[in-house]
Amino acid sequence: MSVRLLNQFYYPDIAATAQLCTDWAEDLVRLGHDVTVLCGSGRYRQPHRGRVPEATAPLASTEHHHGVCIVRVPVENSPPPVSSSPSRLENFGRLGGRVAGYGQFLAKALLALRSVPRPDVVVTLTTPPLVGVLGLAAKRMFSARLVLWVQDVYPDLLAAMGLAGSSSLVYRGLALFARQLYRAADRTIALDEAMGERLVAAGVSSSRLTVIDHFADILEITPRPRWPSDLRTELGLGDQFVVCYAGNHGRGHDFDTVVQAMQAQATSLSESPPIHWLFVGDGDEKARLLARVPESLRPLVHSLPPQARSKLGEVLAVGDVGLVSVKGAMQGLLAPSKLYGLLAAGRPVAYIGPSEGRIPSLLREHDLGVAAKNGEGAVLLDGLRRIARDPQRWQHMSMLARHLAETRFDRSLAMAKHAEVLEAVLREAR
């Protein structure tokens, strides 16, 4: 089967969708399929250790990597990393630069489509939201089957973030396009049942909808001892209890509740054991988060810039508990992929967010960590302290998390489902 994947970011970028697509494409090649990826040359996120920036040599326009043919269209450099205290003008400039990059990619990728070998199946993601234009064009150009792999539900996500009102031209235009895309797609893949319900309500046929979770590679990410650890030593954490948030600090994530938990902790610092907080990554909300840390708690709060994928296992092992946060308005509009790496690393989960979706469902079924609704900072802190005071319970959670990763959310299991979807839509066409 000949498959063409359309997404703005791909290897060697370390954005979440870039890593996801890289695993997906390389696994399809291993299964015997021919895979070409059409992406941009710009970089959404680059790893660095905060000391020496990574080299930024231009990426090749055509490259074969692990059996995947990568075709890149030239896109201007991505917005620079977020500074420690970004101004409103800087944030606006970053957003404008990102939108300009999206526009460049879409325009140039449309022109480059004709040079991509004819596919049997075209797969397109939904980030940025108009990348589906490429999927529609490829479907009509090649008479191929179209699979829509939804990462974020647009335009509802923009409204939930306060970036576009439901009566605005942007929202209405994107809603009209989304309905056309949903009708044209031969199959739509959602990340959990809550997202599936949103998509059906937006016009996706339930008979052409499949739910496939994101995944983690249990061979790449394995449980490691929490201590000793080189990274803990570097940060001066020693054997302290650490809550780690690793990933994008974006507008869709709830850091207000995290700050509430910190404020509650600051009023009761004498309680043992002390809880340390580690935030790894960047994003528009990170500087605001760190600026709101109570003064008395600052020695217990630590920060690192984005890390290379090769460091992922080490980063996840630093935390005794992995933090995942989603704003209440985001229910069914996105599904954090942080969960799966944490399970593979054998780490309990501290979840902040709405009550529907994959993570709260798992936490109701299994003793995997703590769940707090948006605004329940005291509940979050109390749950973390209970875990910190009970090493045997922590060990049980760790073993259960790894078991779920191996039996339900391993990369090989998810990829078998993806391959089955692609083969099914091709059989339908024949």
Task: Please state, in angstroms and rounded to a whole number, the distance separating the CA atoms of residues 145 and 157.
Answer: 27
Q: Cβ–Cβ contacts within 10 Å for residue 385, how many?
A: 18
pLDDT, mean of residues 318-342: 95
Model pLDDT, residue 49: 41
The confidence score (pLDDT) of residue 279 equals: 98
| Cα–Cα distance measured from residue 184 to residue 124, given in angstroms and rounded to the nearest whole number | 12
Query: Do residues 100 and 122 lie in contact, with contact meaning Cβ atoms separated by under 8 Å?
Result: no
CB atoms within 10 A of CB 347: 27
Mind listing the pLDDT tens digit for each residue in 285-312? 999 999 999 999 999 999 999 988 889 9
Whole-number Å distance between alpha carbons of 354 and 369: 16
**3-class DSSP state for residue 251?**
coil
- Per-residue pLDDT at 52 exceeds 90: no
Q: How confident is the model at residue 129 (pLDDT cuts 50, 70, 90)?
A: confident
Q: Give the tokens for residue 404.
A: 């779920």
CA distances, 54 to each of 46, 211, 310, 330, 333 (Å)? 7, 37, 14, 33, 33
The pLDDT-based confidence of 430 (bands split at 50, 70, 90) is: confident
Answer yes or no: is pLDDT of 407 > 60: yes
How many of the other CB atoms lie within 10 Å of CB of 285? 18
pTM of the model: 0.90
> Residue 42: pLDDT above 90?
no
Bridging pattern class, strands 68-73 and 62-65:
antiparallel
Amino acid at residue number 115:
S
Tell me: pLDDT of 199 over 60.
yes
Helices first, then strands: H and E counts in the chain: 15, 14
Position 97 pLDDT exceeds 80: no
Computed over every residue of the chain, the mean pLDDT equals 91
Q: What is the mean pLDDT of residues 8-37?
A: 94
Taking only the tens place, the pLDDT of each residue in 76-88 is: 755 555 554 555 5
Answer whether the bond into residue 391 is a cis peptide, omega within 30°: no
pLDDT at residue 148 is higher than 70: yes
Quote the CA–CA distance of 144 and 123 in Å, as a whole number. 10
**Angle ∠(39,42,46) on CA atoms, nearest 5:** 115
pLDDT given for residue 248 in this prediction: 92
* Weakest-pLDDT range from 160-169, 214-223, 256-265, 383-392: 160-169
Share of residues in the chain with pLDDT > 90 (%): 80
Cβ-contact 6, 136 below 8 angstroms: no
